[in-house]
Amino acid sequence: MRINKVILKVLIAGFFIPTFCLGQNPVVQTYYTADPAPMVHDGTVYLYTSHDEDSTVNNFFTMYDWRCYSSTDMVNWTDHGAVASLKNFAWSKRENGAWAPQCIERNGKFYLYVPIHGEGISVLVADLPTGPFTDPIGKRLIDSDHIWQDIDPTVFVDDDGQAYLYWGNPGLWYVKLNEDMVSYDRSLGQNGVVSVEMTTEAFSSQQGRDGKTRASYTEGPWFYKRNNQYYMVYAAKGIPEYIAYSTAPTPEGPWTYRGLIMERAPHLAFTNHAGIIDFAGNSYFFYHDQSLSEGQGFKRSVSVEQFTYNPDGSIPLIVPTKEGIKESISFLNPFRKVEAETMAWSEGLKTAKDNLTGNIYVTKIDDGDYIKVRSADFNKNPKKFAAGVASVSAGGQIEIRIDGFDGELLGVLEVKSTGGDINWVEKACKVKKVKGVHDIYFVFKGGKGELFNFDWWQFK
């Protein structure tokens, strides 16, 4: 997870390419995240992800929980930690297999649909988008008769109130959810489950390794509606996976293949999984790659690109970039209390949760690590900088800089031992005057080993 410290020292010395700190993809650096499922609610984007562990078991996907991040500006993301895990399902004995999720709101409740690899698809419910989530039915929602078939749920509520749940590998199935969102109409198809016909017209075709021709659809469907047209975005062409899409005049088809959205690129993983939203007048395409793990396909990371639909509603070919989102859609207010786990980029850090309070904070801070926060609007001159910190060690310093890792130094906050790693104390320091919109860099300095934990910050 950590970029080599030698490389960082070279960067500081000025011999590394200057675009290093400009990278915004992947959007999460503290953990490996995959299978992005963005949801827009009340002026905020909530990004639900699966989570590839830092250490794999048996050289395969090692996934125990589902995480959530949020943003109001599309460049700074707040970590809400693991909002659900396999432990939510008392009836399941699976210790691995927390695969691609999706969450949706209905009637003031939030429904998180999750596949448990080998045990079908289940549902959790919460009063808030960040949980806590609970199991409302105590069993699977969709039973599995094949270890690969019942994965990758995608959910959508149509304008008439009818909800649909699609899923599947290597085919595509759906049910019509009842209004309670935790059961479905059993009168359709086979006991309520409808199998979508995998025709060439609907999903294109490809020649498999066995020489047989089959539909290009592979897995990872993402179902939504835009301008009275229904879209099915999915991973295609087997391994390595591309992203393609089909459209239909109704939520049940018939589907027509429309083309590729993202082709194979060197830093993409051998899998891919898309999520598309419209937010604040813009359209965004989420996917995952393997750039953070430097080519390890079982350790993936979520990235995002902004795009514009063609006039006929078709989706253009999107090229994955390191730059990601170029401009924030709003400015961050540095004079309000900001959670330390809100960041655009970080190096060498992790986040953790206080199990007693649920509080998320930044940890594993070593000398030379840093956090970047984009587009902070200093509409008045600050006089002080305050932060919530905790440490059992000798502590260290937070260098407060703008517009670069080695940018103008506004001040230095001294952090000493507080007597406990979650014994939070507010510390403050004077800072230089600054006006305008700037990126903020918190650069951590100190001796060997972990320095302190970081909970929140605020200019005053």
Q: What is the reported pLDDT for 207? A: 75
Q: What is the reported pLDDT for 23? A: 63
How high is the mean pLDDT of the chain? Answer: 93
Q: What is the reported pLDDT for 118? A: 87
Q: Is the pLDDT of residue 403 over 80?
A: yes
Q: Is 35 a catalytic residue?
A: yes
- For residues 303 and 25, the answer to whether their CB atoms sit within 8 Å is yes
Q: Is 219 a catalytic residue?
A: yes
pLDDT digits over 406-456, tens only?
999 999 999 999 999 999 999 999 999 999 999 999 999 999 999 999 999
Q: What is the reported pLDDT for 22? A: 52
Pick the CATH number of 338-459 from 3.40.50.10310, 2.60.120.260, 3.40.50.300, 3.20.20.330: 2.60.120.260
Range(s) of the chain covered by CATH 2.115.10.20: 26-307
Catalytic residue among 35, 73, 150, 305: 35
pLDDT digits over 259-307, tens only?
999 999 989 999 999 999 999 999 999 999 999 999 999 999 999 999 9
17: number of Cβ within 10 Å = 7
Greater confidence (4 vs 386) lies with: 386
Q: Is the pLDDT of residue 6 over 60?
A: no
203: confidence class by pLDDT, cuts 50, 70, 90: very high
Q: Is the pLDDT of residue 2 over 60?
A: no
pLDDT digits over 54-94, tens only?
999 999 999 999 999 999 999 999 999 999 999 999 999 99
Q: Is the pLDDT of residue 14 over 80?
A: no
State pTM to two decimals. 0.94
Q: What is the reported pLDDT for 250? A: 98
Catalytic residue among 152, 219, 369, 455: 219
148: confidence class by pLDDT, cuts 50, 70, 90: confident
Range(s) of the chain covered by CATH 2.60.120.260: 338-459
Among the listed ranges 1-5, 232-236, 306-310, which one has the minimum average pLDDT value? Answer: 1-5
- What average pLDDT does this structure show over 206-213? 75
12: confidence class by pLDDT, cuts 50, 70, 90: very low
Q: Is the pLDDT of residue 398 over 90?
A: yes
Q: Is the pLDDT of residue 16 over 60?
A: no
CATH class label, 26-307: mainly beta
- What average pLDDT does this structure show over 209-231? 92
